[in-house]
């Protein structure tokens, strides 16, 4: 199938080359401050970037196609869609620049997507500078994720956790009670998708022991090249790991997405099959 964008080795080399360019060559589009610090929008060629502070590149937007996912970790998060039914209700905890929300709206036909973002200024920049979708199926809530999860009466087919601040992981992504509450909002057969940092090159996420105590060791995880690791946790039981079925599903999406999800499917393994976490 043909793709609208180069992928595989050439696409990755171009991505690495861009990251080697000095930030001074990027054009500053806008800088704002809120209670949490500075937010910056820069542009380099066809791409715009959202920075938390001076150095933390948080989001990347292809201006001609705001639903394009540049980062491996966001592409890997799409795998959760394999196990859920059509027209799902999806909750995103952490909006960032909005590329994941845009992608889900454009390619996966959800009934609705609810995105919760702590910083109102991030929401405003996503709308004004980064092409956040105005589709009526997308609702953006400016709120604390912990408070939202505790108070919402709704349940969802898929919940994606991507909560990061300028300094790194939000404290919520290290708290068992928060993960458990998120999981409790899943509908039967739903999937919790967590973007976690990997412990070096260990193949294990931060808080891996806590995660196993909470979810058991049958959930799925996929390390990606940026150093993140994506966790796929079922509402109950275990997710079937049908690679051939997933490859066929990925192939059917490739011409629409413009890239393949096969590398992330290949990387999937159960937590029980991952290397042991380093001693604390």
pLDDT in tens, 43-73: 999 999 999 988 788 899 999 999 999 999 9
Cα–Cα distance measured from residue 60 to residue 41, given in angstroms and rounded to the nearest whole number:
10
pLDDT averaged over the chain? 89
Where in the sequence of the chain do the CATH 3.40.50.150 domains occur? 72-273
Name the H helices within 41-170: 72-77, 99-107, 120-129, 145-151
Which DSSP symbol is given to 98?
Answer: S
Name the H helices within 54-129: 72-77, 99-107, 120-129
Look at residue 40 and tell me whether its pLDDT is greater than 70: yes
| 207 Cβ neighbours under 8 A, 6+ residues apart | 173, 174, 196
Contact between residue 186 and residue 201 where contact means Cβ atoms under 8 Å apart? no
Look at residue 200 and tell me whether its pLDDT is greater than 70: yes
Helix, strand, coil: what percent of the chain each, to 5? Answer: 35, 30, 35
**φ and ψ of 110, to 5 deg:** -75, 155
pLDDT band at 258 (very low <50, low <70, confident <90, very high): very high
Contact between residue 277 and residue 209 where contact means Cβ atoms under 8 Å apart? yes
Look at residue 2 and tell me whether its pLDDT is greater than 60: no
Contact between residue 215 and residue 186 where contact means Cβ atoms under 8 Å apart? no
Give 69-82 pLDDT, tens digit per residue: 999 999 999 999 99
pLDDT band at 92 (very low <50, low <70, confident <90, very high): very high
CATH topology of domain 72-273: Rossmann fold (3.40.50)
pTM to 2 decimals?
Answer: 0.89
Name the H helices within 21-169: 72-77, 99-107, 120-129, 145-151
Cα–Cα distance measured from residue 228 to residue 194, given in angstroms and rounded to the nearest whole number:
10
> Sign of the CA dihedral 65, 68, 70, 74?
positive
The mean pLDDT value for 167-183 works out to: 91
Give 122-140 pLDDT, tens digit per residue: 999 999 999 999 999 999 9
């Amino acid at each position: 199938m043909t793709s609208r964008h180069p992928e595989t080795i050439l696409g990755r080399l171009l991505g690495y080359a861009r990251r080697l360019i000095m930030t001074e060559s990027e054009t500053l589009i806008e800088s704002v401050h809120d209670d949490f610090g500075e937010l910056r929008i820069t542009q380099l060629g066809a791409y715009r970037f959202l920075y938390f502070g001076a150095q933390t590149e948080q989001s990347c937007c292809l201006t001609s196609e705001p639903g394009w996912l540049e980062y491996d970790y966001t592409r890997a998060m799409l795998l959760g869609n394999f196990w859920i039914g059509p027209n799902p209700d999806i909750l995103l905890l952490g909006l960032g620049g909005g590329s994941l929300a845009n992608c889900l709206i454009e390619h996966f036909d959800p009934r609705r997507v609810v995105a919760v973002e702590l910083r109102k200024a991030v929401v405003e920049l996503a709308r004004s500078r980064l092409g956040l979708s105005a589709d009526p199926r997308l609702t953006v809530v400016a709120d604390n994720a912990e408070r939202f999860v505790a108070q919402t009466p709704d349940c969802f087919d898929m919940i994606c956790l991507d909560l990061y601040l300028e300094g790194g992981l939000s404290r919520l992504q290290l708290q068992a009670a928060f993960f458990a509450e998120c999981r409790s909002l899943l509908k039967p057969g739903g999937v919790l998708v967590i973007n976690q940092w990997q412990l070096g090159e260990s193949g294990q996420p931060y808080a891996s022991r806590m995660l196993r105590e909470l979810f058991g060791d049958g959930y799925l995880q996929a390390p990606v090249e940026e150093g993140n690791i994506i966790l796929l946790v079922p509402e109950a039981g275990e997710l079937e790991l049908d690679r051939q079925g997933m490859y066929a599903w990925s192939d059917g999406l490739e011409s629409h997405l413009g890239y393949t999800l096969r590398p992330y499917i290949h990387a999937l393994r159960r937590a029980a099959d991952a290397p042991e976490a380093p001693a604390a």
